[in-house]
Amino acid sequence: MTTIHRVTSQDRRFPLKPGEGVDSIHSNPVYSYAVTLLESDKGIAGTGLAFTLGAGNELVCQAIDHLSQSLVGREIHELMADWGTVSRSLADHPQLRWVGPHKGVVHLALASITNAVFDLWAKDRGVPLWKLLLDMSPEEVVALLDLSYLDEILDRDEAITLLRNEQDLRGDREKIIGTGYPGYDTSVGWFDYPDEEIVSNAKRAID
């Protein structure tokens, strides 16, 4: 039994050097994270992040504080057995839902909270999250999802069938563990970087 006994948020901001992170739309970003920290009675903690560009990051943190308090006292495995339903109930907060239940501040706050509960869950199980998810049944995986607004196209039973149909191919996909996977790095090139710097950053990213 691992119970969440405290939830806090942190407003973390990282100013960039001139030219970094700049494109045709984002002319002066401050890379920022709305952080959710879930502390458990066992001493392990879950950490979740949602990314913003600076101004308004504190609003996401305030939304995290409002939405996450109902998680205090919940046992993590019981919580994750039906996270899709829990996530929907958080998004449909009777007062906060008018400030954006599926977009904007609330969406970002839910993203941070969701990352944190999954992080705590995997840490308590002692396995990487991808392994935890792979070892679950299709029914358990689908229970993690909020299929609102999708069920006319993909309902719960159809989602379970899709996952079940892919199980026989799992062995082939797991070979990637031994061979590795190409990296992904968006920071190698920004609007104001000269070509030489982009080439240098790209080489460094794959070394």
- Give the length of the chain: 207
φ/ψ (deg, to 5) at 188: -70, -25
In a domain, 66, yes or no: yes
Percent of the chain exceeding pLDDT 90 equals 63
pLDDT at 101: 62
pLDDT per residue as tens digits for the range 113-158? 999 999 999 999 999 999 999 999 999 999 999 998 898 999 999 9
CA distance 146 to 153: 14
Domain hosting 167: range is 4-202
Structure tokens, 182: 């190409």
Mean pLDDT on 27-55: 96
CA distance 65 to 45: 16
pTM for the full predicted model: 0.75
Is residue 34 within 8 Å of residue 114, measured between CB atoms?
A: no
In a domain, 120, yes or no: yes
Q: How many domains is the chain built from?
A: 1
In a domain, 207, yes or no: no
pLDDT grade, residue 166 (50/70/90)?
A: very high
pLDDT at 11: 98
Is residue 63 within 8 Å of residue 109, measured between CB atoms?
A: yes
CA distance 53 to 71: 27
